Structure 1
Amino acid sequence: MNIDTIGYNAGLVWNALNEVEAIGLVQLRKVTKLKDKELMLALGWLAREDKLVISEDENGKNIIVSLAQG
């Protein structure tokens, strides 16, 4: 996998997150149809650019992501 592919996948993730307020990783993987490794690299890309808000659900078992405002 090269940097262009990771950037493309980050775009897929950004577009999916732009359609919802917040989403869990399992649902995000289904929506984007990315493999786990591809999704994690794309999320890392977006996180590094300060594009994400990352939190846990009430149980602390699931990671929830959403787009950062601004």
Structure 2
Amino acid sequence: MDKHQIGVNAGKVWQLLNDNKRWSYCDLKIASELSDRDLNAAIGWLARENKIDFECSGGDDCLFLSVNVYIG
């Protein structure tokens, strides 16, 4: 795995998250068809860029796009 492939995988995850719903890790893994390692790297990439947020409820971790509004 290299940085380029992690970026490609992050783009794939971004496209899935772009529907503005909260995704469980399992659902995201199935839809993305990525391995745990590749999905975790993609999530880390997006988290580092502050593109996604996480929510824990009922024992499930959910991921969703972070809405950043910059004024000025």
Q: Give the TM-score of the pair, scaled to structure 2.
A: 0.89
Q: Which residue matches 2:34?
A: 34
Native 8 Å contact 2:51 2:65 kept in 1: yes
**CA distance in structure 1 between the aligned counterparts of 2:60 and 2:15, rounded to whole angstroms:** 21
Amino acid at match of 1:41: A
C-alpha displacement of 1:21: 1.4
Name the larger-Rg structure.
2
- Give CA deviations for 1:13-62 in whole Å, capped at 9, x if unaligned: 000000241110000001100011100000000000000111112x2x21
Matched, 1:69 2:67: yes
Show structure 2 runs of 5+ residues with no match.
none
Aligned to 1:18: 18
Identity of aligned residues (%): 34
Distance in 1 (CA, whole Å) between partners of 2:3 and 2:32 is 18
Moved runs in structure 1, 4+ residues, more than 6 A?
A: none
TM-score, normalised relative to structure 1: 0.92
Residues 45-54 or 13-22, more deviating = 13-22
| Alignment RMSD (CA, Å) | 0.9
Q: Which runs of 5+ in 1 are unaligned?
A: none
